[in-house]
Amino acid sequence: MNRNLNIKKLSNKETHWDIIIIGGGASGLGAAVDSASRGFKTLLVEKSDFSKGTSSRSTKLVHGGVRYMQNGDISLVIEALKERGILKKNAPHLVKNMSFVIPSYNWWSNPFYGIGLKIYDMMAGKLGLGKSTILSKEETIKLIPNVKKKDLVGGVIYHDGQFDDSRMAISLAITAEKNGATLLNYFKVKNLTKTNNIVDGIIVKDQITNKVYEIKGKVIINATGVFSDKIMKMDYPQKKKMIKPSQGVHIVLDQKFLNSHHAILIPHTSDGRVLFAVPWNNYAILGTTDTPLNEIKDEPVPLKEEIKFILKNAQTFMKKKPNFSDIKSVFAGLRPLAAESNQKNTKEISRHHKISVSESGLLSILGGKWTTYRKIAEDAINTSISIGGFNERKCITENLQIHGYQENPNWKDPLHVYGSDANLIKELKMGKGNISLSEKFYITPNQIIWSLKNEMAIKLDDILARRTRCLFLDAKETVKIAPKVLRIMKVFLKKNIEWEKKEFSNFIEISKNYILT
């Protein structure tokens, strides 16, 4: 992906875009892959970095959603289980089979969850990842040694998928470009243009150079997650809000708090939801919360109450109990729930997506899950065909391999998320290119150069938060190694000392949200 070359395409008056997508999260990137692979001339603009919004801040599960089954949202579970299977098939280097253990503390839980999960297995059908099984007390302790033993009666084990959300986003971005799409990060849509009351373009500003462009397209897709209302208001200022944002926080702990390669699902938190503790890159990730919010930010701030809630619920099932001082990193994301703003209880709002088309033809994608991004994109592009009056072209993404596709990945190799690119990264000619800059997590000079050259990384934050996941894993250690990363970037990008100072202070500001003080 080459940003400068892509910018040149914007100035080319010969280019007529069929579909312009605003937003480079799961929904927008999925739409770009779908649109380009059907042969539509596709442009995607993202105001910040790809997946900077909610799509890098998920629990990182490719799942049907056991909780939605409890809520009776069966059609969502069936759709998500199907998409889970498709994603695992098309991106085997990014989606890992993860086993989850549900510990039981009363006699009826085991048969109850056992039957529920058998139904979950049946709903997945041929695309199932493994059979669920009832466990004895001893088996449960063997699989999750840090589980609280007092009153434990047994457990149930079931299977879902785990992925690296921002690495998936980058792979989708490259897949879209390979299929002919043009993608630009740090391009913010400031307004929409209309002719005869029909939306026919965007006014967009390059956030790096401040240059403004007016670009015309036959269909404009609003895939801006929690920011969707803002774009809809550019179309129709009186528009009522259609997104109810809900914040979800995760904390990241040392792996010793799980001491297992199995994840844990706690089926009943004090607010009546579920809590996950999942092994991830040699750490354990715990979450999440569901806090309705009125204000939306690019860098959402985890609330003290949310962190306390996760710790308190974790402490009820862990023998070795985590405390504030054990937290290595904390991150918050905003769910773009499709609901009227007066709906208060966000945990009960369905995670189903909606496609909305305004009178002037603006298509907005509302709600949805990472797991179902492909189906969301298919629905959005099918609708775009009607809006744009295009000839029918069938969706092909069910069988489209995602960039980096590689069967039987070595999950122990920290570069497995790059799939077929991993060897190219290792072979880059750099002095100590393959030696990690930290002993706590893996980040090498070669990865930094690779993401600058091939993955449109521009800022320090892009590399430390989304091309690699350092900031999400251990925020203090990330701040420690940031100057080393910046030096490599400065030399490669031929930048000066002022740039270096500014990048560093911007990054320190961002990192404060990930560090508990």
Ligand X SMILES: Cc1cc2nc3c(=O)[nH]c(=O)nc-3n(C[C@H](O)[C@H](O)[C@H](O)COP(=O)(O)OP(=O)(O)OC[C@H]3O[C@@H](n4cnc5c(N)ncnc54)[C@H](O)[C@@H]3O)c2cc1C
What whole-number distance in Å separates Cα of residue 265 and Cα of residue 63?
13
Residues 150-179 as b or e (16 or more Cβ within 10 Å = b): eebebbbbbbbbbbbbbbbbbbbbbbbbeb
Does position 267 interact with ligand X (CB under 6 A)? The reply is: no
CB 189 within 8 A of CB 52: no
What whole-number distance in Å separates Cα of residue 308 and Cα of residue 68?
25
What whole-number distance in Å separates Cα of residue 378 and Cα of residue 372?
10
CB 161 within 8 A of CB 97: yes
The number of residues making up the chain comes to 517
Q: Site for ligand X (CB under 6 A): which residue of 161, 201, 225, 267? A: 225
Does position 25 interact with ligand X (CB under 6 A)? The reply is: yes
Find the part of the chain contacting ligand X (CB under 6 A) among 16-24, 71-79, 312-320, 433-441: 16-24
CB 273 within 8 A of CB 290: yes
| Count of residues near ligand X by CB under 6 A | 38
Does position 227 interact with ligand X (CB under 6 A)? The reply is: yes
- Judged by beta carbon, residue 141 or residue 189, the one nearer ligand X is 189
Q: Site for ligand X (CB under 6 A): which residue of 223, 265, 266, 488? A: 223
Does position 370 interact with ligand X (CB under 6 A)? The reply is: yes
Does position 58 interact with ligand X (CB under 6 A)? The reply is: yes
Which residue from 222, 245, 189 is spatially nearest to 356, judged by alpha carbons? 222
Q: Site for ligand X (CB under 6 A): which residue of 10, 19, 36, 45? A: 45
- Judged by beta carbon, residue 89 or residue 495, the one nearer ligand X is 89
Joined together, the tokens standing for residue 19 give 């579909």
What whole-number distance in Å separates Cα of residue 118 and Cα of residue 354?
29
Does position 47 interact with ligand X (CB under 6 A)? The reply is: yes
Does position 54 interact with ligand X (CB under 6 A)? The reply is: yes
The 149-168 contact track toward ligand X, x by CB under 6 A, reads --------------------
- Judged by beta carbon, residue 333 or residue 404, the one nearer ligand X is 333
Q: How far is the CB of 338 from ligand X (least distance, A)?
A: 10
Does position 352 interact with ligand X (CB under 6 A)? The reply is: no
Does position 273 interact with ligand X (CB under 6 A)? The reply is: no
What whole-number distance in Å separates Cα of residue 74 and Cα of residue 80?
10
- What backbone phi and psi angles, to 5 degrees, belong to 395? -70, 135
Q: Site for ligand X (CB under 6 A): which residue of 288, 291, 384, 446? A: 288
Find the part of the chain contacting ligand X (CB under 6 A) among 46-54, 236-244, 431-439, 473-481: 46-54
Which residue from 5, 53, 3, 65 is spatially nearest to 25, judged by alpha carbons? 53
What are the counts of helices (DSSP H) followed by strands (DSSP E) for the chain?
Answer: 16, 18
What whole-number distance in Å separates Cα of residue 299 and Cα of residue 53?
8
What whole-number distance in Å separates Cα of residue 226 and Cα of residue 176?
23
Question: Does the CA dihedral 122-124-127-128 come out positive or negative?
Answer: negative
Q: Site for ligand X (CB under 6 A): which residue of 371, 444, 451, 468? A: 371
The 320-349 contact track toward ligand X, x by CB under 6 A, reads -------------xxxx-------------
Other beta carbons within 10 angstroms of residue 454's beta carbon come to 17
Joined together, the tokens standing for residue 507 give 């990054």
Does position 48 interact with ligand X (CB under 6 A)? The reply is: yes
Does position 469 interact with ligand X (CB under 6 A)? The reply is: no
- What backbone phi and psi angles, to 5 degrees, belong to 204? -135, 140
Q: Site for ligand X (CB under 6 A): which residue of 19, 33, 52, 466? A: 52
Find the part of the chain contacting ligand X (CB under 6 A) among 96-104, 225-233, 431-439, 482-490: 225-233
- Judged by beta carbon, residue 57 or residue 244, the one nearer ligand X is 57
Does position 243 interact with ligand X (CB under 6 A)? The reply is: no
E strands, 348-486, are 353-357, 363-367
Does position 28 interact with ligand X (CB under 6 A)? The reply is: yes
Does position 262 interact with ligand X (CB under 6 A)? The reply is: no
3-state secondary structure of 357: strand
- Judged by beta carbon, residue 335 or residue 416, the one nearer ligand X is 335
Q: Which of residues 172-201 bind ligand X (CB under 6 A)?
A: 188-189
Q: Site for ligand X (CB under 6 A): which residue of 6, 21, 37, 60? A: 60
Return residues touching ligand X (CB under 6 A): 22-28, 45-48, 51-55, 57-61, 188-189, 223-227, 248, 288, 333-336, 368-371
